[in-house]
Structure 1
Amino acid sequence: GDGAGMSAASKAKRNQPDAEVIVFERGPYISYSACGMPYWIGGQIGPMDKLVVLTPERARERRGIDVRIGHEVTQIDAAQQVVHVRNLETDAIFTQPYDKLVIATGARAAKPPIPGVDLPGVFALRSLSDGERIYDYLSQNPARRAVVIGGGYIGLEMAEGFRDRDMQVAVVEMLPQLLPNFDPDMVEPVAAHLVEKEVEIWTQTRVTQIRQSTDGALEVIVQSGKGETTLPADIVLVATGVRPNSELAQAAGLKLGATGAIWVDAQMRTSDPHIYAAGDCVEHFHRVLGENVWIPLAPVANRGGRVAGD
């Protein structure tokens, strides 16, 4: 129901106005700006409604798309061309036949095997519901110190958001530099800017444990070249990457690529001719590298959705 899924649904409906187009979305929101969430949490954007591009009601009224939030597809029966769906409000299960199916299950936040990662006050940021939980937690709990685990896009954007709330921030990255996918000369000015903004940077540092102190606050135990250090925190954000949600497709017998994401051709068609896939759950052929790669970014997801909808 987010970028790729709604792009595919909208394009299909424009191409064939008489077609019945149904979107099943497990969560409560569709078509929102995930990239804007750190800035909303940091107070630069508000209220949350500004992140929502399209509501289910407007999708039905303006685009003729039957959007059903709170519905989870639990199984794809490719042989019978039906999906099994659970209504999360009533727990009722039903089947829905299809002529063509688009899988746009996205990606999920990677959960590192760190003791204490499930403690209250420890969050990941992937969906708008995640962002809502973080925002509510900060609104209800006076927080002065944040520890961000992971120095990628989301980690650094959230570090900025926490600083915008006048919080002390420490960023912990296991690799030798922040933004590990970038060349060092590009990262140096970013790191210098963070230091200028009084963000504490820990590179080549591994988190070994998250625990609660006697006063109920959080403590992040890290191991670096300096030995073991305890970083106090009122909130911890785990931003250690994402993984493709490809299990549903795999269970249906669809081909996965070497990246673990769903294999698709140039038309976003999977190994089943009646099933397409788009978004963060698929891999794409990279024309420069000459191989399939996984690029979980919004522009790629939206373009892939439009291709699938065609």
Structure 2
Amino acid sequence: MSNPYVIIGGDAAGMSAASKLKRELPDAEVIVFERSQHISFSACGIPYWIAGTVESDRRLMILTPERARERRGIDVRTGHEVVAIDPEAKTVIVKQLANGERLTQPYETLVIATGASAIRPPIPGLDLPGVFTLRSLGDGQQIFAYMASHAPKQAVIIGGGYIGVEMAEALHDRQVAVTIVEMLPQLLPNFDSDMVEPVAEHIREKGVATLTSRRVEAITATTEGADAGHSLSVLLDSGEALAADLVIVSTGVRPNSDLASTAGLKRGKSGAVWVDAQMRTTDPHIYAAGDCVEHYHIVLGENAWIPLATSANKGGRIAGDNIAAAVKGTPPSTFPGIAGTAV
């Protein structure tokens, strides 16, 4: 009897790979290790839940571990973090986060779908109460709970990209005064300035303050003085100090590729895991998909790292399909590439 097929990561790419593999090979044993308590959630919907547009975080959960087990036959193990891969032995070392115990799990074929993590810039004060990043559903739940218990009136958002602008809208809808601080000359730096200016003007008309070409130097706890009514002070390189009850750090994300790299797998120039069009890594028994990998960019003619749920889901399905195809002897599927578009 063969070893189980093992998936590292239970969000878009990981669960797409597991589900497709199980559909193609119904009798196969498929194990998904996920270090958090959630799988298959809509990260893009988190700001809308915080705003109140989505009434419950349950609406963001596309699939629960229990439903994955009962309806799809996938052995989902939350609270389990894969800490090492041994490609020669074809095993992974798994840490049970509840008790710290470790186990060794053999695999027939492995899929790495470790995603990406929020960047935590080297700013003093990031660990203070009331300072958050937003990447996972757990992050969103922490922000939601903090707002419920502290009722913040003033927020500073560090970073004016997608997440920063979406969170500005969400907090504005909750009657929180918002200031966005962006170190580059404009909000939404990935877009051309003529496209950004109408958006920036609309944001300002709504009463959201925007400070561009400013860098945050530190975040401090406020205990006295004119800003003592607020719990935090955000210090800028311009000398300005912004009072806040809540700080959201949205300075981008980076691929979670260290696990793959430590196992000897190739990374691309972005630092994300290299895969071919069939989602294979440089190890014949290891595939990878999702926000931890690069894809071929059909416009640029080279690999690029653009972490989006659409390509994560497609890549996961292709990985699962090709693992099954190798068993069944059918032609593999290929991922033609990304075009760099985003909606």
TM-score (norm 2): 0.88
For residue 234 of structure 2, the aligned residue among 198, 210, 220 is 220
C-alpha separation between the residues in 1 aligned to 2:139 and 2:132? 8
Structure 1 position 90, deviation (Å): 2.5
Find out whether 1:250 has 2:264 as its counterpart.
no
Letter of the structure 1 residue corresponding to residue 310 of structure 2:
P
Tell me the matched-pair count.
307
Structure 1 residue matching 2:240: 3-state secondary structure: strand
For residue 283 of structure 2, the aligned residue among 263, 272, 278 is 272
For residue 202 of structure 2, the aligned residue among 193, 201, 215 is 193
Structure 1 residue matching 2:164: 3-state secondary structure: helix
Structure 1 segments of 4+ aligned residues over 3 angstroms from their partners: none
Structure 1 position 91, deviation (Å): 1.9
Structure 1 position 145, deviation (Å): 0.3
C-alpha separation between the residues in 2 aligned to 1:118 and 1:282? 29
**1:1-310 mapped onto 2 (5 Å cutoff):** 1-214=10-223, 215=228, 217-223=231-237, 227-310=238-321
Letter of the structure 2 residue corresponding to residue 240 of structure 1:
T
C-alpha separation between the residues in 1 aligned to 2:212 and 2:315? 35
Letter of the structure 2 residue corresponding to residue 46 of structure 1:
E
- For structure 1, the 5+ residue unaligned runs are none
Letter of the structure 2 residue corresponding to residue 70 of structure 1:
G
Structure 1 position 89, deviation (Å): 1.4
Letter of the structure 1 residue corresponding to residue 32 of structure 2:
V
C-alpha separation between the residues in 2 aligned to 1:142 and 1:14? 46
Letter of the structure 2 residue corresponding to residue 221 of structure 1:
L
C-alpha separation between the residues in 2 aligned to 1:297 and 1:258? 18
Letter of the structure 2 residue corresponding to residue 300 of structure 1:
S
Structure 1 position 43, deviation (Å): 1.0
Letter of the structure 1 residue corresponding to residue 101 of structure 2:
A
C-alpha separation between the residues in 2 aligned to 1:154 and 1:19? 39
> In the alignment, which residue of structure 1 is the partner of 2:326?
none
Structure 2 residue matching 1:228: 3-state secondary structure: coil
Identity %: 64
TM-score (norm 1): 0.98
C-alpha separation between the residues in 2 aligned to 1:110 and 1:128? 16
Structure 1 position 65, deviation (Å): 0.5
- Cα-Cα RMSD: 0.8
C-alpha separation between the residues in 2 aligned to 1:39 and 1:108? 20
- For structure 2, the 5+ residue unaligned runs are 1-9, 322-343
Deviations 1:146-200 (A, max 9, x none): 0000000000000001001001000000001111010111101110110111000
